Amino acid sequence: MNELPDLTRLTGAEKDALIHELFAQVITLTAKKIELEARLAMNSRNSSKPPSSDGLNKSKPKSLRMSGLHPKSNRGQTFGP
């Protein structure tokens, strides 16, 4: 179907068939869109792709240090006899 048919000349059954055909295409294209968006969102952190395939939009590596926590200091303590 490349052109919009003249809807005034279609019977009710033909219009119903056209609606079903178009609805099937919407479902197929929606599923394809979801698949393509999922593939686009993949990078080396959430797939088996190598890091070199991430391109220039790489996310910065996250620090393994716990933020906001400081080691306890020994201030005020004296060492000695």
Write the pLDDT tens digit of every residue in 16-34. Answer: 999 999 999 999 999 999 9
Amino acid, single-letter form, for residue 51: P
* Cα dihedral: 41, 47, 52, 58 (round 10): 40
Taking the C-alpha atoms of residue 26 and residue 32, their distance in angstroms, rounded to an integer, is 10
| pTM of the full structure | 0.53
Rounded Cα–Cα distance for residues 25 and 22 (Å)? 5
Region 48-59: mean pLDDT is 71
